[in-house]
Chains A and B, each alone.
Chain A
Amino acid sequence: MNKTPGEYLITREKNIYEVVIGLEVHAQVLSNSKLFSSSPTKFGAEPNTQVSLVDAAFPGMLPVINEYCIKQAVKTGIGLKAKINNRSVFDRKNYFYPDLPQGYQISQYKNPIVGEGTVILDMSYGQRKIGIERLHLEQDAGKSIHDLDPQSTFIDLNRSGIALMEIVSKPDLRSLDEVNAYIKKLRSILRYLGTCDGNMQEGSLRADVNVSVKKKGTKNLGTRCEIKNVNSIKFMQMAIDFEANRQVDLIEEDKEINQETRLFDTRKNETRSMRSKEDAHDYRYFPDPDLLPLELKNDFIEKIKSEIPELPDEKKKRFIDKFNLSPYEANILVSDKETSEYFEKVIENSDVKLATNWITGELFALLNERDLGITQSPISSENLSKLINLIKNGTISGKIAKTLFELMANGDKDPQKIVEEKNLKQESDPKVLESLITKVISENPDKLKEYKSGKEKLFGFFVGQVMKISGGKANPKLVNDILKKKL
């Protein structure tokens, strides 16, 4: 059977299965205060130091909506090319848990703030449009800490009430690569917008994964299982892989797949049942009577629209059109907002092609090796741009440039100054080069003989020798030219 590019198939003796994936991403809204209270939202504070009476659900306390969080959600909706709903409703999702102080979570159920949208993925096999079902706002819960004491559980309410955006995709994802690309793209859009920092380690971005399988070519979706709270792309992929195979095995054995919620055990690399549909909570959703329906006027939405920055898709198009980059290069440079900003700063006064190569090559390798983000780059955009100009105007050779780059990486110095201090300037004086070449030729009469008798490969040997005695500073192009004449 033919495999279309990008497809993720599970093959068994008689059947081939496709895997269908949908993601519910919980993105913490970037905001200084919580969704319904003025408590701060800083990560990593001492337990229970960022908690107001509202967050701890004291008697008579009432939620008051934080308009900034609303703006952030609308902004995100616009970034997802989604419909912004003029009227949305906050509902209560009722369940008991110690880190849920109200005994209910304020969320949006039937009428979310944002409706259908799209995220575009650039896969090696072409563009994929992933549908967004909805985005709604909700409160985060606190944290239960079970490992401080053998007898007791401790509750930290710092996170209680922080605004989350739940971004629900349609079941449009078809492979682990697409899941990876989707999360990265979504994260990129959120960071461009400044609506979520996308930090998966700190839990600012978490996802529940819906997985089902179906026989290849059939239309109807299979029974899905939801895998809760998978906190890295790697675990997400492992969980999906395990879960899809588990479901295929069940079908192959003529067993039924139960619609259920499952947990991914990272140690055992398996998913296991958390609760079945029958045991599913009855959340008794109903509109929160403490909050009026949220009415957004069109000019409020239009104003936010006018403040939306250039997003990765648009930026990519501009980079291709204006700077003549390949789609691949453009993709790498725009996926991270800070990288694209760094790139644009470098090319303000230097060659685009060289800048692209140096950033995606040497600089990325350096950052990777030192596990740094571009904002922490040991080489500033200004100095990289100077380095590129030194290459471009022939002051240094490409080889020296690499040495220079390494020197710059250890203490971000002005490359011009290093070149002067260490005397790294390229030797382009034909007289000096000629004397070097004469010296090399005269010291290697045997090699000269061989060359003359037709062993032309030895040309490279002579170049190498000249470079060597020049300390790598000889202008390679000129050395080539003069050497050709001399030999």
Chain B
Amino acid sequence: MNDIISQNLTELIKNIKDKKISSEEVTKSFVEKAEKAKILNCYITEDFDSAINKAKKFDSKPNFNCKLPGIPIAVKDLFCTEGVKTTAGSKILNNFVPTYESTVTQNLWNEGGILLGKLNCDEFAMGSSNETSFFGNVKSPIDKNLVPGGSSGGSAAALASNLSPITIGTDTGGSIRQPASFTGTVGLKPTYGSCSRYGIVAFASSLDQAGPMAKNVKDCALLHEVISSYDLKDSTSIDFKRNNYSELLTNNIKGKKIGIPKEYRVDDMPKEIEDLWIKGIEYIKECEAEVIDISLPHTSYALPAYYIVAPAEASSNLARYDGVKYGFRADGENLIDMYERTRSEGFGNEVKRRIMIGTYVLSSGYYEAYYLKAQKVRKLIKNDFDEAYKKVDAILTPSTPSSAFKIGEKANDPVSMYLNDIFTVPINLAGLPGISIPAGLDKKGYPLGLQIVGKAFDEQNLLNIAYAMEEKINFKNNIKEWWIK
């Protein structure tokens, strides 16, 4: 039997069910691993003692009918967890302990999952490198100088460094898929409306979507079937038929039509990315699926449209953090002064930048030129996909335009940081599911990911394609545990 922490979810579940290992042993292994990995800065809040107690409790009366029997799980600190501090990576929520549980995390616990702790992320999920967190950046398990990606950087790093067997993140413009790509892990952004947003600290409501992150596609499929649910507490939750994705998972994708959008061949894309994509196309052909060239003509407008819509919604969503009701408050001489100090001190620069952009694009006189136009662009982008899906079942693109960059490299260049989301944001704008799977290493040995985009609510097909490709790719991550002395 493998070392516990390097087992994937499927193996862990089997071994727990076969009583070869207990939940307590599993939980303790991941806790011990985390104790040695503090330098990665994955955790904002550890809930280890409580996790071990819950594991003991599980073992004393195990329910093996659960889908995640006694499996310890660390989650992104954007999910509200009852009685456990939830910060969204921000000073302004530094002291905030929810009295309620998000639907997605509740779904985990209902299936026997056990909370290990809350994982670091970019402040309010605004960032692509995990450098905007008030609690400091996360270091990549791949290399101590690299960012793990963001905003679910803590989640991706925890997964790649075996601190948690599976994890969940949120994806507004690529926040699951980009860090998955940077760390050689699998990350799914489900169809908008698939996972409830209830209890998730909001960034941009029309784009935010929680999703599973795992070491392989099968684990990802199982986790997705646990967290995806129709929820009356979220008016944008959609009541559609959800599968037991892991049970129906198949590597037979023979005859499936996969589209290759020419517009994703962007200027100055590194050759390594281009090569990876070509390799991906070959794998698809090996799986006896059909490759079809398609066009998504409005792709180049996606990023600017995203950086109008997302900040606009964020500027309004973050208005509630005013020091009045909960969270951080800086005293002021009067109300306005209190507001100004609280929000100046409570928010970091990237969040402030986006609040300002969002406020600007919604202001009278600019609304039509920016927000309304961006919404029209969004519609065109969605139409592009609708057209494409008349011809194909899924679309293959690179996940990111480069491998992981160095800590600090883009910290002062927001536009170059935003460009990292170029392949992922159109998918959020269109509300579609997208998955990033590890597909190779670049010359420096850093992971690279491929993104598969599916039709709305067609996660099963998406996961099947990813599963088939995963088998062909046979990716091996190159992690040397540099953080263990």
Contact = CB atoms under 8 A, between A and B. Distances in A.
Contacts of A250: none
A60 B319 contact: no
Interface in B195-222: 197-202, 204-206
Interface in A180-227: none
Interface in A428-460: none
Given A59-B88, A286-B316, A98 B98 contact: no
A292 B193 CA distance: 12
Interface string B84-118: 00101000010010111010000000000000000
B444 interface: no
A65 interface: yes
B322 A59 contact: no
B64 interface: no
A342 to B, nearest CB: 43
B320 A57 contact: yes
B339 interface: yes
B80 interface: yes
B80 A60 contact: yes
Contacts of A53: 99-100
B34 interface: no
A487 interface: no
Interface in A274-295: 282, 284-286, 288-292
B363 A60 contact: no
A103 interface: yes
A101 interface: yes
B248 interface: no
B362 interface: yes
A57 B235 CA distance: 16
A96 B364 contact: no
A59 B316 contact: no
A104 interface: yes
A300 B235 CA distance: 20
Contacts of B232: 64
Contacts of A62: 197-198, 233-235
Contact of A104 (B79, B102, B316, B339): B316
A154 to B, nearest CB: 11
B314 to A, nearest CB: 11
B197 A60 contact: yes
Contacts of A92: 316
Interface string A45-85: 00000000100111111111100000000000000000000
B371 interface: yes
A98 B323 CA distance: 9
A98 B334 CA distance: 12
Interface string B217-241: 0000000000000001111100000
Interface in A83-113: 92, 94, 96, 98, 101-104
A59 B324 contact: no
Given A59-B201, A60-B202, A289-B205, A103 B362 contact: no
A286 B199 contact: no
Interface string A26-41: 0000000000000000
Contact residue range for chain A? 20 to 34
Given A286-B316, A289-B205, A101 B325 contact: yes
Identify which of A64, A103, A288 gathers the most chain B CB atoms within 10 Å of its CB: A103
B405 interface: no
Contacts of A288: 205
B235 A291 contact: yes
Interface in B299-324: 312-313, 315-316, 318-320, 322, 324
A155 B324 contact: yes
Given A102-B320, A284-B316, A59 B205 contact: no
Contacts of A292: 235-236
A219 to B, nearest CB: 29
A139 B479 CA distance: 53
Contacts of B318: 103
Contact of B102 (A60, A98, A102): A60
Contacts of B371: 286
Contact of A58 (B100, B204, B313, B315): B100
Contact of B235 (A64, A101, A286): A64
Given A64-B233, A94-B316, A98-B335, A286 B362 contact: yes
B130 interface: no
A116 B471 CA distance: 63
Given A59-B93, A60-B202, A64-B235, A289 B322 contact: no
B363 A284 contact: yes
Contacts of A57: 320, 325
Contacts of B313: 289
Contacts of B326: 58
B198 A60 contact: yes
A286 B197 CA distance: 20
B316 A98 contact: no
Contacts of B316: 92, 94, 103-104, 284, 286
Given A59-B201, A286-B371, A96 B363 contact: no
Given A59-B202, A60-B197, 19 more contacts: A58-B98, A59-B86, A60-B198, A60-B200, A60-B201, A62-B197, A62-B234, A64-B232, A64-B233, A92-B316, A94-B316, A96-B319, A101-B320, A102-B319, A103-B319, A284-B316, A284-B362, A286-B367, A290-B202
15 contacts: A59-B98, A60-B80, A60-B201, A64-B235, A65-B235, A96-B319, A96-B322, A101-B324, A102-B320, A104-B316, A104-B319, A282-B363, A284-B316, A284-B359, A292-B236
Interface of B: 79-80, 86, 88, 93, 96, 98-100, 102, 197-202, 204-206, 232-236, 312-313, 315-316, 318-320, 322, 324-326, 335, 339, 359, 362-364, 367, 371
Closest 6 CB pairs of A and B: A103-B319, A289-B205, A284-B362, A289-B206, A60-B199, A57-B320
